[in-house]
Amino acid sequence: MGGQSHLRKRWRALWNPDMYHGWGRESKFFEGWYFKLVDPTGQYAFAVIPGISKGFDGYHHSFIQLLDGKRCEAHYHDFPLEAFRASDKHFEVQLGKNLFAADRIVLDTPQLSGALRMNNRFPWPKMWGAPGIMGWYSFMPFMECYHGVVSMNHLLEGNLSVYGQPVDFTGGQGYIEKDWGRSFPGAWIWMQSNHFNTTNPVSLMASVAVIPWLGSSFIGYIVGFLYEGELYRFATYTGAQMKARLGDHEVVLAFRDKRHRLEIVAHQAGAAELVAPISGNMTGKVNESMQSTVSVRFFEREKLIFEGEGRNTGLEVAGEVDRLLTEEWRR
C-alpha cells in the first residue's frame, strides 16, 4: 500500500516539476531548490538552497545551503531527515521553522531570517508532453539529474534580518529553480541573470551539461530567455544548435533555431564554494559566482532585437568542461 502511495505522489510530481519527487527513494537521491534573492539596491544578493540528501552510504539528512553572493561566503546548515516535510499536493517544503514555496519563503537561519512574498511570478510554461524545462526527457526514469524552473522572474516583498540588520527586500527581484536525481553532471556550465536595465522583465537561464545516456553520453542544453513577456526556448529537444568556448575569465555561448539566435558572453567574478551531490551524498564541490555579468544579444533571423548586460549573474563552470566546447554549430 505504501508503494502504491509513493507511486501516486511521484506521478503527480512528474506533471508538476516544482514539487518534491523523492517519495519512496531510500538511497542515492538528492533534491534541492534554488531561491535567488536580491534586494532593490543590489547591495545584497543571496542564494538559499533547501534540500534533502539520501546518500548511498546510508547517511541521510536535510539541509539549507546559503550563498552570500556579495561576501563570497557559503554556509551549510544540517537538519535531521525528519525535519524535512514536503506537501504531496503542491510545492511546499518545510525544514524546521523554515518554509519554502513558489509564492513565499520563511527563513530562520543565523544569516537570514524573516519572510518574503514572491509576486508577479513567471513559471516555465507547461506543454503537452513537456511538463517542464526538461521537455520529453522528464519521462525518462534513468536520468542522472533532472532540472526544473519554478519562476524565471518575480518581485520580492517583505523584510529580512541580514546578519542581524533589517533589510527591506520589497521591490527586489528573485528567481527559483531546482534539481533532483542521483548526482550533478560530470561537467556543466550554468548561468542565470534577471537584472537587466529594462522596463519589462528580462531573464536568462542557460545550462549546458554532459548527460549520461544508455551507457554513453551526449551534450545536452536547456536555455530560457524571457523577453517582452514571452519565453524563448533553445534546447536539445527543440532541435536548436549551440556553440561554446572559454576565454580568459569568460564563457561564450550561442544558441540558434530556425528563427532566433541568442549570443551570450559571461564574465566571471568572485565566487564561493558550494556543496554538490554525488550519488545522493553532499560530498561534491562547485564554485558559484553571483557577482558575474552577462552580455546578451538576441536576434530574430539577422535583426538584432535586444542587446543588454545582466548583473548579479549566477555562474558555474564545473567538471571536465572541455567536453562541452565546440567552435562549430552542433546539435
List, for residues 5-16, the tens digit of each pLDDT value: 999 999 999 999
Q: How many residues does the chain have?
A: 331
Closest by CA to 7, choosing from 63, 88, 114, 69, is: 88
Which pLDDT does position 128 carry in this prediction?
A: 83
Residue 1 pLDDT more than 50? no
Is a pLDDT exceeding 90 seen at residue 327?
yes
- What's the rounded Cα separation, in Å, for the pair 144 and 92? 24
Q: Is the pLDDT of residue 2 over 70?
A: no
Phi and psi (nearest 5°) for 244? -155, 135
Cα(76)–Cα(38) distance, integer angstroms: 20
Average pLDDT rounded to a whole number, residues 282-308: 97
pTM score of the predicted model: 0.97
